[in-house]
């Protein structure tokens, strides 16, 4: 009404203003009053009418769990009416209605705190110990340089170190900033989960960001509650609210005392339909998210090891620098050093004070240069580049990395404990066999109407799935788990079940949801018509249900008592189905006319029938398992299916070889494994390949035992029951399609296509990351060892260093950063899957690496020391040209050695080079920059131009690295077992 009045007055005001602006004055005639009928629909379209409910009141009602507020609304159904929601059909699925709800109540997106800016990463870089040491060296070098050579030329060494430090900070800050943004993108992708809602009368999957107030959301075990809301309908509902309250106990949610569901919590048991009352920032989770910043910079175990390595090398550098300082000081003050004319530099009191100071400054500058060369500035940066590059590539290969440390850890995996359903198999169930009693029922065969009715009740009511019939001519839309979909599809097509009719004639009194330990689910129902009978319906794993039965139905509807022989016959039928890799689901019931019990009957049941469901193996799984076997990675299948089904699938996938005689411990059941003593488990764990009928505890126990034996364990899982094992494992891999939110939250990597072949791809990438980092360490340490030895020998023997601080920083920083990028971009090869896994105890720098590293460093040291002491006489050049030849030869040795680093053990270092164009581009860029450094930046780099002949000599010295590398690889290395 207020809006109508304001709009009407503004319209009249607009008309009157126009009238008074008319230039020709004239008399305005008007009535004493004017009545205008204003209809509501002229101002608002039907879907934009306001909701008669306060958003803040809804928000506080759920957040504070206030039952009085819900009572004021008139209860859940009246609240649904106020939100214009049909309790059966949900909200309208029209875009206009959904957009209107978003405008009124907000969108389901949380406001996050602003991400860290670029300059915050710059400030963090200044806190690095290496940077602090380099800055201290730079200031010393700057001061000494200006003291010796004046402002004009004295700033080169110190200034170049400062420039190098700035470059390191900029490059590392840009890299960390980009990595942070990448994590935010991955975080956004991982938060975009699918939610099942009822809209327009049917259940459909939407993004969590598209959930609106008024939606009816369907929740089952393992789901994350997408928004704040109240329980509309549900059974045995328990919620894990630890993410909100910190309490580990699961909260029971019911319609009477606690109907409230908080956003971000997880369903631990039961299933429910929830009415969404608040979304986004109006939820309890949204309010909490607004004040919590997520830290995305994670330091991986490998980076920690490398930081220790860098620190150790830095300490060695400081020790060598201190030694050079002491020896050089002793040599100078004892008169052992001579100038360019052969005269002693220190002659006691006759030496001028300025000369002494200049000499001391020169000695200190040489020591500072050694510290600079010892610190491998590019090492941590190389790891960051490698991990960032591999994470992007892994995303393209259907693996989303949630924790960056998993990239490298996966390369060390020695054992994979894999789920069966959905990972090794297609997770597309279909009923292929039906048995009633001892008879197999062919398609279209006769079944007694009473038995058909009981099966319809057992399948249609005892389910978490749903059936939506769009039109009579089109097939129904069936939603739910693959098993539920297969059972419902069979009931609809073969039994002619109309699920709505079944639900109309029956009232569900109590529900016991599927339990991964009991492996069954049940309902207690009352028939509304006629007899008013009470019926218990159970469904679940055939062996479990069979053990609860004392009688069975025949196909004509008669009930027969089990004797021992018949029970054995039906058990054999189940075994026969299992050996065909069918999942056997049995149905049983018990009727009574007495009072309703709170607990479902579990004894003296009557077996209705057994259905065999086929879930075919995924294409490519057998090849993937073979690939893992060749890579030395053991595969263990852990499944809830019975032992016969497990054996059949394991044989089909290649985990078990049907041609070889099985070890008696190769296939065990969960109860056997948990009943072993600790010593028995540890003794048998390596021989176990398949564990059937396992519980979540059995899976966790296996992972713990494998880790105790020194294995690096990867676990795949998709259910809430897999969460403990996923967390315990070194690498948890959850399934992106069928995986529950609890499983994804507990994992390190999400396999986006649910395929075991993608798990193998992750192993390939993990090994590639680890190997690329090893290649770079070998390359980087060769540079550092060679430069350190050359400068140390030269400084101790002559008091002068052939490689200046600027030149060493150029080699150490620019070349090595480019080298890291070149070696980090090497793609995974098939050879990686032919090597043994690294495991836990393998050192980062292996004996093979030491062999390659020391041989190349020795060659470089020998050649460059010959040039240092005999270079002037060999080439008949000045001291400055000789030092330029040493510098140029040293750099070109690294360029050629970069090719050697591509292969640690193979002699052919050019294999696959054509596929890595970036490597060729980077090497070409390095050579081009070196040319500029020598020929055009003479003052800055302290170099002289070289002739073509001198360039040819430098290239020849560098090229000799290749034949030396081939010869060295002929030397066998004995590795520790």
- Alpha carbons 836 and 915: distance in angstroms, whole number: 25
- Alpha carbons 181 and 179: distance in angstroms, whole number: 5
Supply the DSSP string of 691-746, one letter for each residue: EES--HHHHHHHHHHHHHTT--EEEEE-SGGGHHHHHHSSEEEEETTT--HHHHHH
Q: What single-letter DSSP state applies at residue 114?
A: P
- What Å distances lie between residue 781 and 234, 378, 545, 571, 922, CA to CA? 64, 11, 65, 66, 20
Active-site residue flag, 215: no
SS3 percent helix, strand, coil of the chain, rounded to 5, is 55, 15, 30
Phi, psi angles (nearest 5°) of residue 535: -130, 135
The first and second tokens of residue 517, run together, are 């330990």
Q: What single-letter DSSP state applies at residue 641?
A: S
Cα 648 to its chain centre, rounded Å, is 32
Question: Residue written as tokens 């240069």?
Answer: 369
The helix (H) or strand (E) run that includes residue 820 is: helix 816-824
Give me the helices (H) in 106-128, please: 118-126
- Alpha carbons 554 and 507: distance in angstroms, whole number: 27
The first and second tokens of residue 534, run together, are 């009470």
Write the burial class of residue 16 (CB in 10 Å: 0-12 exposed, 13-18 middle, 19+ buried).
exposed
Question: Residue written as tokens 């939110």?
Answer: 741
Q: Are 913 and 903 in contact (CB under 8 A)?
A: no
Q: Are 254 and 30 in contact (CB under 8 A)?
A: no
Cα 87 to its chain centre, rounded Å, is 38
Q: Are 856 and 887 in contact (CB under 8 A)?
A: no
Write down the number of H helices and E strands in the chain: 36, 26
The helix (H) or strand (E) run that includes residue 667 is: strand 667-669
- Alpha carbons 62 and 276: distance in angstroms, whole number: 10
Residues 6+ apart with CB under 8 A from 682: 705, 708, 709
785 — alpha (psi -120 to 50), left (phi > 0) or beta? alpha
Cα 113 to its chain centre, rounded Å, is 22
Using alpha carbons, select from 379, 400, 381, 378 the residue that is nearest to residue 390. 400
- Alpha carbons 377 and 139: distance in angstroms, whole number: 18
Q: What is the CA radius of gyration of the chain?
A: 38
- What Å distances lie between residue 853 and 324, 507, 848, 969, CA to CA? 24, 77, 9, 11
Q: Where are the beta strands (DSSP E) in 893-976?
A: none
Q: Which of 128, 157, 240, 419 is the catalytic position?
A: 419
Residues 6+ apart with CB under 8 A from 366: 324, 328, 791, 795, 799, 800, 801
610 — alpha (psi -120 to 50), left (phi > 0) or beta? beta
Q: Where are the beta strands (DSSP E) in 720-872?
A: 731-735, 749-751
Q: Are 831 and 912 in contact (CB under 8 A)?
A: no
Write the burial class of residue 700 (CB in 10 Å: 0-12 exposed, 13-18 middle, 19+ buried).
buried
Active site residues: 419
């Amino acid at each position: 009404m207020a809006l109508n009045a304001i709009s009407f007055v503004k319209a009249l005001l607009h008309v009157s203003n126009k009238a008074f602006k008319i230039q020709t004055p004239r008399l305005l005639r008007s009535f004493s009053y004017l009545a205008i009928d204003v209809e509501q629909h002229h101002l608002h379209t039907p879907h934009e009418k306001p909701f008669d409910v306060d958003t803040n009141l809804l928000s506080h009602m759920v957040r504070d769990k206030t039952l009085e507020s819900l009572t004021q609304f008139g209860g859940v159904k009246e609240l649904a009416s106020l939100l214009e929601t049909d309790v059966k059909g949900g909200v309208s699925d029209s875009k206009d209605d959904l957009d209107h709800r978003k405008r009124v109540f907000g969108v389901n997106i949380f406001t996050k705190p602003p991400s860290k800016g670029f300059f915050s990463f710059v400030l963090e870089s200044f806190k690095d110990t290496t940077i602090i040491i380099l800055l201290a060296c730079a200031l010393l070098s700057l001061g000494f340089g200006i003291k010796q050579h004046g402002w004009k030329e004295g700033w080169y060494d110190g200034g170049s170190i400062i420039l190098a430090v700035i470059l390191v900070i900029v490059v590392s800050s840009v890299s960390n900033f980009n990595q942070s943004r990448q994590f935010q993108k991955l975080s956004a992708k991982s938060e975009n989960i699918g939610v099942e809602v009822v809209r327009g009368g049917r259940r459909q999957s939407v993004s969590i960001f598209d959930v609106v107030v008024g939606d009816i959301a369907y929740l089952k075990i393992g789901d994350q509650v997408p928004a704040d809301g109240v329980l509309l309908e549900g059974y045995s509902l328990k919620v894990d609210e630890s993410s909100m309250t910190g309490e580990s106990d699961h909260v029971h949610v019911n319609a009477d005392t606690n109907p409230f569901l908080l956003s971000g919590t997880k369903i631990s048991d039961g299933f429910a339909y929830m009415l969404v009352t608040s979304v986004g920032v109006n939820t309890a989770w949204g309010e909490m998210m607004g004040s919590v910043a997520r830290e995305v910079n994670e330091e991986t175990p490998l980076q920690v090891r490398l930081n220790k390595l860098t620190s150790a090398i830095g300490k060695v550098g400081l020790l060598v620098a201190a030694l050079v300082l002491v020896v050089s000081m002793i040599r100078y003050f004892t008169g052992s050093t001579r100038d360019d004319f052969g005269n002693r530099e220190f002659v006691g009191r006759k030496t001028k004070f300025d000369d002494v100071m200049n000499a001391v400054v020169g000695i200190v500058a040489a020591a500072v240069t050694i510290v600079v060369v010892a610190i491998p500035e590019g090492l941590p940066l190389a790891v960051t580049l490698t991990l960032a590059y591999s994470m992007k590539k892994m995303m393209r290969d259907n693996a989303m990395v949630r924790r960056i440390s998993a990239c490298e850890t996966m390369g060390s995996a020695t054992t994979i404990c894999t789920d069966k359903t959905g990972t090794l198999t297609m997770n597309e169930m279909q009923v292929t066999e039906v048995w009633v009693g001892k008879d197999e029922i062919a398609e279209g065969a006769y079944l007694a109407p009473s038995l058909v009715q009981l099966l319809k009740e057992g399948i249609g009511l005892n389910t978490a799935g749903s059936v939506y019939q769009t039109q009579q001519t089109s097939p129904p839309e069936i939603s739910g788990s693959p098993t539920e979909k297969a059972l419902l599809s069979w009931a609809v097509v073969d039994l002619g079940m109309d699920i709505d009719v079944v639900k109309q004639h029956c009232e569900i009194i109590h529900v016991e949801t599927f339990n991964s330990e009991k492996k069954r689910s049940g309902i207690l129902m009352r028939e509304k018509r006629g007899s008013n009978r009470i019926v218990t319906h159970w469904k679940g794993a055939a062996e479990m249900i069979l053990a609860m039965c004392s009688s069975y139905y025949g196909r004509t509807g008669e009930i027969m008592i089990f004797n021992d022989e018949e029970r054995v016959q039906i058990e054999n039928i189940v075994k026969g189905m299992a050996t065909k890799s069918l999942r056997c689901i049995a149905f049983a019931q018990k009727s009574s006319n007495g009072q309703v019990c709170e607990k479902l009957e579990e004894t003296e049941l009557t077996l209705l029938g057994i259905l065999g469901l086929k879930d075919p193996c995924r294409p490519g799984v057998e090849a993937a398992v073979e690939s893992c076997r060749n890579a030395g990675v053991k595969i263990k299948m852990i499944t809830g299916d019975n032992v016969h089904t497990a054996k059949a699938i394991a044989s089909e996938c290649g985990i078990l070889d049907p041609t070889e005689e099985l070890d008696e411990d190769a296939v065990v059941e969960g109860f056997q494994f948990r009943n072993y003593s600790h010593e028995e488990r540890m003794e048998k764990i390596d021989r176990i390949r398949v564990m059937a009928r396992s519980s979540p505890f059995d899976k966790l126990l296996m992972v713990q035992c494998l880790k105790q034996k020194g294995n690096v364990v990867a676990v795949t899982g998709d259910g809430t029951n897999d969460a403990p094992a996923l967390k315990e494992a070194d690498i948890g891999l959850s399934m992106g399609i069928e995986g529950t939110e609890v499983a994804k939250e507990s994992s390190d990597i999400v396999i986006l296509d649910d395929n075991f072949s993608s798990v193998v791809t992750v192993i390939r990438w993990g090994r590639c990351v680890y190997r690329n980092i090893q290649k770079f360490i070998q390359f980087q340490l060769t540079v550092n060892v060679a430069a350190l030895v050359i400068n140390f020998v030269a400084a101790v023997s002559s008091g002068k260093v052939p490689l200046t601080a600027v030149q060493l920083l150029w080699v150490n920083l620019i070349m090595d950063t480019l080298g890291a990028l070149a070696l980090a971009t090497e793609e995974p090869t098939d050879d990686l899957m032919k090597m043994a896994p690294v495991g836990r105890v393998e050192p980062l720098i292996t004996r093979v690496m030491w062999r390659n590293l020391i041989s190349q460093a020795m060659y470089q040291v020998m050649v460059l020391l010959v040039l240092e002491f005999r270079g002037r006489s060999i080439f008949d050049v000045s001291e400055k040209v000789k030092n330029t030849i040493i510098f140029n030869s040293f750099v070109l040795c690294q360029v050629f050695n970069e090719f050697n680093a591509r292969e640690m053990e193979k002699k052919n270092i050019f294999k696959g080079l054509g596929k890595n164009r970036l490597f060729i581009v980077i090497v070409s860029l390095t050579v081009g920059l070196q040319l500029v450094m020598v020929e055009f930046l003479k003052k800055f780099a302290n170099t002289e131009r070289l002739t073509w002949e001198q360039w040819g000599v430098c290239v020849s010295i560098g090229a000799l690295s290749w034949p030396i590398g081939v010869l060295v690889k002929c030397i066998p290395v004995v590795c520790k077992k």
